[in-house]
Amino acid sequence: MIRTGIQLYTLRELEGGLPTLLRRVGETDFDGVEFAGFGETPPDGAATVLEAVGLEAAGVHVGIDALEDDPGGAAETCAALDCDRVIVPYLDDSYFENAAAVQETATRLSALADRLAERRLALGYHNHDHEFVALEGDKRSAFECLIDETDDALSIELDVGWAHAAGYDPIALLERLEGRVPLVHLKDVADGRPVELGDGEVDIDACATAARDAGAEWLIYEHDDPADPAASLEKGARALAQFRD
């Protein structure tokens, strides 16, 4: 079964706080949300709203330092939300600048994945476009090297829009990552910039099919900088509804 959700970073400019945002999402066809922080709302408070509006928590984005410093806190947050997936949302260019840096990044993420597994949490990594930088003396990009240097303990939350922006075929990447992509970000881009679904260069239908074939459990809509977040929420929900089981 495949479900659809929205990364709440998309809605960060809307007023009203997290409970209000969750209620707005609950009025759409989305099945769930992916968290990018909680503001002043404790996770158990967010969970109460999720239950009230019929949404699930697909995952939680947490920075790598916070996860390493307080894995127990991440476990408590996820337990409150009845969620078992945490995702490192971003690592800067320095983590991918050469082969040695990528190997260190892979080792660090793998070690963290093992620590979190002890707390019954699954770790993922969400890409942008800078991970696809070419490595000197290697035919692989840094992202491809990261895939090769980690195993199934680390899932990849492939962002199809950023992969396309980097000049890579997201469909081919999804095929390569079969079994490692429980969460997939559906994002459209034009000239390397995020746009509304259907307004850019990404074949969203083909990506959704490839994600399903690769074993994805969630298709998650994200727009990094929507001009009208409320309209983007509605449009994204309508666009993804056709892919729900």
Token pair 């994200």 is found at 222
Residue 245's pLDDT is 79
Average pLDDT, the chain: 97
48-66: pLDDT as tens digits: 999 999 999 999 999 999 9
Identify the pLDDT of residue 28: 98
Listed residue (214, 223, 236, 209) closest to 4, CA to CA = 236
Q: Are 21 and 14 in contact (CB under 8 A)?
A: yes
Nearest partner of 127 among 139, 143, 111, judged by Cα: 143
pLDDT at 1: 85
- Give per-residue pLDDT as tens, 144-164: 999 999 999 999 999 999 999
Q: Tens digit of pLDDT for each residue in 62-102?
A: 999 999 999 999 999 999 999 999 999 999 999 999 999 99
The class level of CATH for 3-241 reads alpha beta
**Residue 114 pLDDT:** 98
Task: Note if the pTM is more than 0.95.
Answer: yes
pLDDT tens-digit map of 161-189: 999 999 999 999 999 999 999 999 999 99
Helix (H) or strand (E) holding 219: strand 218-221
Residue 27: pLDDT band with limits 50, 70, 90: very high
Please compute the mean of the pLDDT values over residues 217-236 and round it to a whole number. 98
Q: Is the pLDDT of residue 122 over 90?
A: yes
Residue 183 and residue 154 in contact, taking contact as beta carbons nearer than 8 Å: no
Do residues 60 and 89 lie in contact, with contact meaning Cβ atoms separated by under 8 Å? no
